[in-house]
Structure 1
């Protein structure tokens, strides 16, 4: 099972977030500040530290957490492709902010100033993504190992459990807060699922992540009878005749393209019809289905 086409194609927001998380984690690890990460009652209520709140959103506390966390963030790029970068940006902001509010509320209830109660890292976003992963990503294959039933989604769940238990109590609480945030988004609280950021924000990250490569347009093919030159100059000679290019026949979509669309959560029949319309172009077909769902 994969998250669609390899790399960060059509997922500039995810790419920016993954790079930022990796840079923050490595930078703090080199500076020896990773052991100081994690939110506590004192950091929030007695001696508020804004820098800790910011770093707690991006930086992981350890290398194993970073490996599992970045892998899950990379896989969940499928949701940005499915709903578009603008709506996915809203999903990130909503998940991070709501899960952080839940974490602050939990720390206020526990009131333990002697220890860091919450580990750092984008746990809110990661575990909020498991909600649409559970409901919207279909199972492609099933198999058995030693009599135990598994599916292609099982490996993602196992990676999530590993991350959830990485710091035991300190990581379980942020994970639960992320699941709650994802559930509220799924319930469309305040119509949040229809909200989207301005187009220029996604365009900025798209240009930042993938510099535009302008491809030259092919010259128009013309069939000319008679001598070359301007018809107005050579009066009385044969006039230039332009024949329209023949319309390309519909392309039967490949099985790989259909599988990619299905892995994004689309119905197989709808995916096939969109691919036929888009002449087997996955990106165009995805946009067709997204536009159809938004109306």
Structure 2
């Protein structure tokens, strides 16, 4: 299990979100206003200021939360690579909006003063991402430490638990709401997984890239379980004349959930064309 190639290749929306979270957290931290960004019952139902609503989505309440949060957001860029930037933008919007609505409902029903204010930051997006992470990202290695069994996914879960319990009930509630939002997305409520933003969304965020962050050709996949595939023959170039696939291309397909051996054969068959190799694997899935 890995996040694919290092950096933000094929993940311009994630890159923009990570940078925005870091900048807003640092800015309000310098002004010592981070603790005041979290939404409360009064904010939700009486005098919600638009700036506070927006900032509560991006800015974390503390530096430790920022570190764990950015680490998780960076890892979860794998989902943008799987479904494409335009669909991933819908996933972000859906996760944040639904989780905030669930938080408002919970505050209204519980009326617990110890929840005011809730922690700030993209908890809805982060914990919504744990749903496809649990179901769709395969384990690639397992190991034991002092008799306890772990996998390479364990580090992501540990970072998530650290973030979830960072402020006890004030952080647990947004985390649970995020998981519920991710579950609704996975259940394809209102056919949300078919929706995607116009193509200019990805183009806009791609233009914000730095000169040294050149992206690979964009690929798309479906957000679902990825078993091992045997590429079938089709109208693709012969494998005999193809060079050995580059490791980063294999890693990209593996990060989408495809079997490594199948990914290599698909790249050979497609003459190392990442888009064509993805199509071969997808055709094998639905054949």
TM-score, scaled to structure 1: 0.81
Contact 1:262–1:268 under 8 Å retained in 2: yes
Q: Aligned Cα RMSD in Å?
A: 2.7
The yes-or-no answer on 1:96 pairing with 2:96 is yes
Partner residue, 1:263: 255
1:82–1:290 CA contact under 8 A, matched in 2 = no
Q: 1:32: which partner in 2? A: 32
Q: Matches of 2:103 and 2:244 in 1, distance apart?
A: 50
**For structure 2, which runs of at least 5 residues remain unmatched after alignment?**
215-238
Number of aligned residues: 263
Within-5 A mapping of 1:32-181: 32-112=32-112, 116-181=116-181
Contact 1:41 1:112 (C-alpha < 8 Å) held by counterparts: no
Structure with max Cα Rg: 1
Which stretch shifts more, 263-272 or 192-201? 263-272
Tell me how far 1:118 sits from its aligned partner.
Answer: 1.2
Residue 180 of structure 1, CA deviation: 0.3
Shift of residue 280, structure 1, vs aligned partner: 3.1
Larger RCO (CA within 8 A; separation ≥ 6): 2
Indicate how the Cα distance of structure 1 residues 34 and 293 shifts in structure 2: closer, same or farther if over 3 A, else same.
farther
Q: Report the alpha carbon displacement of residue 114 of structure 1 after superposing the two structures with TM.
A: 7.5
CA displacement at 1:264 relative to structure 2: 2.1
Mark the runs of 5 or more structure 1 residues left unpaired by the alignment.
Answer: 215-246
- Secondary structure of the residue aligned to 2:207 is helix
Partner SS, residue 209 of structure 1? coil
SS in 2 for 1:144: strand
Q: Structure 2 CA distance, aligned partners of 1:294 and 1:56?
A: 42
Deviates more, 1:173-182 or 1:193-202: 193-202
